[in-house]
A and B are shown apart, each in its own frame.
Chain A
Amino acid sequence: MIVVEGLTKMYGSLKAVDALSFSVSRGEVIGLIGPNGAGKTSTLKCMVGIQAPTSGSVRIDGRDIVTDAVEAKRRLAFMPDEPQLFEYLTVREHLNLVARLYGVADYAGRVPRLLEELELSGKESALPGELSRGMKQKLAIACGLLHDPPVLLFDEPLTGLDPLGIRRMKQTIVDRARAGAAVVVSSHLLHLVEEICTRILIIHRGTKIADGSLEELAARSDLSAAGSDLEQIFLRATGQAETDRAS
C-alpha cells in the first residue's frame, strides 16, 4: 500500500533523509521512531506531498506522490503533531470542507459517528479557538478519517489527549488497521509504538538502522543484549549507529 524507495531529502547541504526504503502493507501498523533530528517528520512530509523528495520515490496504492499527486493524496490522510486548523471555520464546517475536497457524498451520515468516536459531539458549532489542545487534535484526526482513507500517517497522535482520549485514539488506530488500512505512526512514546505497532522502523541521521517486528529486532545479534524491551533496543540501535559512525 505504501512503497518508499531510495527516498532522499536535502535541505541545502544537509541530508535529512538518506536513501530510505521501506514498504507498508494493508493492515500493518508501522512505528517510525528515531532521535530528534533523525528525519522522521521530513520522511512523513515527503510521503504526503508537503515536501518534494530530492530523489527517490513514494507510491501510495501504486500512485506516485509526485507525478500522480492528486490520486495519491485521495488515498491518504496525514495527522500532524500540531493540528493545523482554520481558526474561522467551525468543527462542522471543517468536516464539510474536507467532505467536498475528498468528494465524500455520504458525509452527513458519517460525521455524527466520527464525532461520537472522537468525543466531539456537541462541539459542532465551536471554532478552534474555543477548543482545548486535545480537542483540536481530535478535530484534525476527524478531518483525516472522514474520507476513510486506506493509508494513514500519524505524527505524535497522542499529544494533548487525556487518558480516555489516548485509549480511544489507540483503539481507533488499531481498528483502522484491522479494517485494512496501512498505518504509519511516528512517535517518541515507545510504549505506544510497542503496544500498537506490528512493525518498527528506527531511523537515525536520515538512514534506516533497524526494521522489523519487536521480536525480529530483539533477535538481531547486535541488539540481542537489549532483550525484548523497545527502549533498550532503541538506545542500543541508535548508540551502535553513533559508534559505527565515529569509527
Chain B
Amino acid sequence: MTHAFLYLTACSLKNRLWRRLRRLREPRYLAGLVVGLLYLYWFVVRNQMRAPRRGRTDLTWLTSFAPDIVVGGAVLLWVVAVLVWLWPFATRTWTFTAAEVQFFFTAPLTRRQLLNYKLLRSQVGLLFSVLIASLFTGAARAAVAGRWSLLLGGWLLFAAIFLHVLGANLTKSSFRAPASRVPWLAWASATLMIVVSGLLCGTYLVHARALVSRPLNDAIFGIVELGRVGAAPFALWPFRAVLAPIFAETPLAFARALGPALVVLVLNYVWVLWSDANLEDAASAAEQRQAQGRSAPAPVVRPAPFSLAARGRVETAILWKNTILLGRYVSLRLVVRVSIPVVVMAVVFGLNSKGGSLAPLLLMLTVFATVVGPFMIRNDLRHDLQRLAVLKTWPISGRELLLGELLAPTFLLSAIVWFLLAVTLALSPAWKDGPIDAVGRAALLVSVGLLAPMLIAGQVIIQNAAVVLFPGWIATGGARARGIEAMGQNMLMFAGTLLALAIGVLPASAIAGGLGYVLYLFLGWPGLLPATMLLASILVVEAGLVVMWLGRVLERTDPAQVEIAE
C-alpha cells in the first residue's frame, strides 16, 4: 500500500509542477514569476552568495546564547502546545480532500494506513517550508553546525510539532465520547500534559511578582532562567529535545542532540497511531470545511446589520449583503488571531514607556488600516466576481453594482480609522499639551477624518478596478493562487495600486496643498479645512468618473473571463 501512496504523492507533485510550468505561457504568470524570482534573488540568494563584509549583520554572537535560546524556545513551544490543547476547534492538520475521502475511506485500508498516508503527504510540505526557512536564515547559520543541521533539525522540529498537534486533536475528539468510552491513551496523554503544565505553571506563578516588576529584557531572561529551576527542566525536556539539534554548534553535538529529538518524534508518532479512534469524524469535518473553501470557515448565522426595506437604492442592498458577509465570517478564531499581535505590541509599548501612552500604537494601527486595510477587507467585487453570472441577471446598471460593492469595505475601514483617531486623541497627553491649540486640533482631526475615507475608497476602487480590468490577476472569493509567480503577481498588484493611487491623489494634493499653505499663513491650522474640503471634492469627482467608466466595463465583462485561482 505504501507504494500506492508514494505513487499518488509523486504524481501529485509532478502534475502540480507541470501545471505551474504550463501556466507560465500566460503573460501575467510569467511576469509574476520574473518579479518573484528577482525578489528572491535580491533578498535571499544574493545575500547568501556575498562574502561577509563590514557592516553586515553578524549573528555569530548567537552562539554564546544558544543554550538560553533553546530553553526560551522550549518555554514558547510549551505555551503553543497548551494553546493547541485548549483551543476549542480542531486545527487544519486534517486536510483530507473530497477525492481522498471518496477513494480511501471506501477502500479496504486500515486507519493506520490512512494516517501514515496523511503523515507522508505532510512531510512534503514540511520539508519545503524548512528549506525556504533555511534560505532566509543565512546569517543565523553562522551560529549553528551548518546548513544540514538547520535543515534536518528544522524538519525534526516541524514534524514533531505537526505530530503533536495531530495527536492533541485526535485526543480532544476522543473526549467528545461518553467518559466510559474514552480510550486510556487519551486519559494518559491529557494527564501527562496537565502534569507538565502544572509543574511549569507552578514555577512561574511562584516568581510572577518578581518577573512583572523587572524591565522587559530582564523579565525575558528571568523566564529563561526559571526554565532551569526545580522541576521545570524535566517538564521542558521534550520541548528542549526537539529544539536542540538546530542549535548544535558542531557535527558531534548535533549527533548527540539527534537521539533525544528522535525519541520525542517517535513517541509522538506512536501516540498518533494509537489515537486513531475518531479518524473518520475528524476527517469528515475537515473535508466539509475544505469543500467550503481553502481558508473559509463555515458562516455562522448572526442578525443582519440593519433591516432592508423592499424599496430604495439598490446600492444599499449590496452594502447590506456585503456587511452580512463580513459579520458571518468573523469568528472567535479570527478575533484572537488579530488580537494577539495587537496585545503583544500594546504590552511592549506599555512596558517600554513604563505604563505610558498607547497613542503611537493606535496611530500605527490607523495608518495600517488606511494603507493595508483595503487589501485585507475584501467584501466587495473581489469576493463577488465569482458570482458575476448571477449579478449580471440583476436589473441594475454596472455603475450601481460597482458603487454598492465599494461601500462595505470603505464604510467599515473608515469607521475603524475614525474610532482609532478618536481614541488616539483622547489618550495622548503629549497631544493635549502640545503646541497646537484646541481649534487647531479640531481642524486637524476633521481634516484627517475627511481624507482617510477618501484614501481608503481610492484603494478599494483601484483593487476593484483591477479585478474587473484584469480578471485573474487578483484572486477572487476565498481562493488564493500559490507559488513564486503568484507572489510576484501580488507584488506587481501592490505596486500598481500604489502607483495608481499616487496618480489619482498627487495632482489634487498639490493644488489643495498650495491652497492649504497659503491659508495656513493667514488663518493658522483652521486654514487646513478649506484645503481639505477642496481635496476631498476633487477626489470624489475623480472617484465618480472612475466608477461610471468601470461600471460600463463591468457590463461588458464576460463571466467566462473570470478565473478561479488555483
- A-side interface residues toward B, CB under 8 Å? 11, 45, 48-52, 69-74, 76-78, 80, 84, 86-90, 93, 96-97, 99-108, 125, 127, 129
Q: CB-nearest residue of chain A relative to B392?
A: A50
Other-chain contact of B324, A49, A76, A93, A103 (Cβ < 8 Å) = A93
Question: In the docked arrangement, what's the CA distance between A152 and B267, Å?
Answer: 64
Give per-residue flags for B393-404: 1 if the beta carbon is below 8 A from chain A beta carbons, else 0.
111110000000
B residues in contact with A69, CB < 8 Å: 395, 397, 555
B299, A127: Cβ atoms closer than 8 Å: yes
Given the contacts A100-B310, A105-B310, A51 and B393 also touching, CB distance less than 8 Å: no
In the assembled complex, B558 has its CB within 8 A of some CB on chain A: yes
B390, A96: Cβ atoms closer than 8 Å: no
Question: In the docked arrangement, what's the CA distance between A101 and B404, Å?
Answer: 12
B299, A129: Cβ atoms closer than 8 Å: yes
A residues in contact with B556, CB < 8 Å: 52
B residues in contact with A108, CB < 8 Å: 310
Given the contacts A51-B558, A51-B559, A125 and B301 also touching, CB distance less than 8 Å: yes
Q: CB-nearest residue of chain B relative to A77?
A: B393
Within 8 A of A (CB), among B289-328: 292, 298-299, 301, 304, 308-312, 314, 316-317, 320-321, 324-325, 328
In the assembled complex, B389 has its CB within 8 A of some CB on chain A: yes
Question: In the docked arrangement, what's the CA distance between A49 and B396, Å?
Answer: 11
Other-chain contact of A101, B314, B325, B555 (Cβ < 8 Å) = B314
A73, B394: Cβ atoms closer than 8 Å: yes
In the assembled complex, B354 has its CB within 8 A of some CB on chain A: no
- Chain A CB within 10 A, most for which of B308, B310, B316: B310
14 A-B pairs, CB-CB below 8 angstroms?
A11-B560, A50-B389, A69-B395, A69-B397, A70-B395, A76-B393, A84-B390, A86-B325, A89-B324, A97-B308, A100-B312, A101-B317, A105-B311, A108-B310
Given the contacts A74-B395, A97-B308, A100-B308, A89 and B389 also touching, CB distance less than 8 Å: no
A97, B558: Cβ atoms closer than 8 Å: no
Give per-residue flags for B270-292: 1 if the beta carbon is below 8 A from chain A beta carbons, else 0.
00000000000000000000001
A residues in contact with B228, CB < 8 Å: none
Other-chain contact of A84, B387, B395, B560 (Cβ < 8 Å) = B387
In the assembled complex, B329 has its CB within 8 A of some CB on chain A: yes
B395, A73: Cβ atoms closer than 8 Å: yes
Given the contacts A48-B393, A70-B395, A73-B394, A87 and B292 also touching, CB distance less than 8 Å: yes
Question: In the docked arrangement, what's the CA distance between A77 and B390, Å?
Answer: 11
Q: CB-nearest residue of chain B relative to A149?
A: B395
Question: In the docked arrangement, what's the CA distance between A86 and B316, Å?
Answer: 17
A residues in contact with B387, CB < 8 Å: 84, 86
Given the contacts A88-B328, A93-B324, A127 and B301 also touching, CB distance less than 8 Å: yes
Other-chain contact of B395, A51, A52, A101 (Cβ < 8 Å) = A101
Other-chain contact of B560, A51, A74, A76, A89 (Cβ < 8 Å) = A51
Question: In the docked arrangement, what's the CA distance between A76 and B393, Å?
Answer: 9
B310, A88: Cβ atoms closer than 8 Å: no
A50, B395: Cβ atoms closer than 8 Å: no
Give per-residue flags for B45-77: 1 if the beta carbon is below 8 A from chain A beta carbons, else 0.
000000000000000000000000000000000
Distance (Å) between the CB of A92 and the closest chain B CB?
10
Give per-residue flags for B535-553: 1 if the beta carbon is below 8 A from chain A beta carbons, else 0.
0000000000000000000
Q: CB-nearest residue of chain A relative to B555?
A: A69
A residues in contact with B329, CB < 8 Å: 88
Given contacts A73-B393, A86-B321, A103-B311, 4 further A-B contacts (CB under 8 A): A70-B395, A86-B387, A96-B310, A100-B320
Question: In the docked arrangement, what's the CA distance between A49 and B324, Å?
Answer: 27
A80, B558: Cβ atoms closer than 8 Å: no
B310, A99: Cβ atoms closer than 8 Å: yes
Other-chain contact of A78, B298, B299, B393, B559 (Cβ < 8 Å) = B393
A87, B397: Cβ atoms closer than 8 Å: no
B residues in contact with A51, CB < 8 Å: 558-560
Q: CB-nearest residue of chain B relative to A80?
A: B389
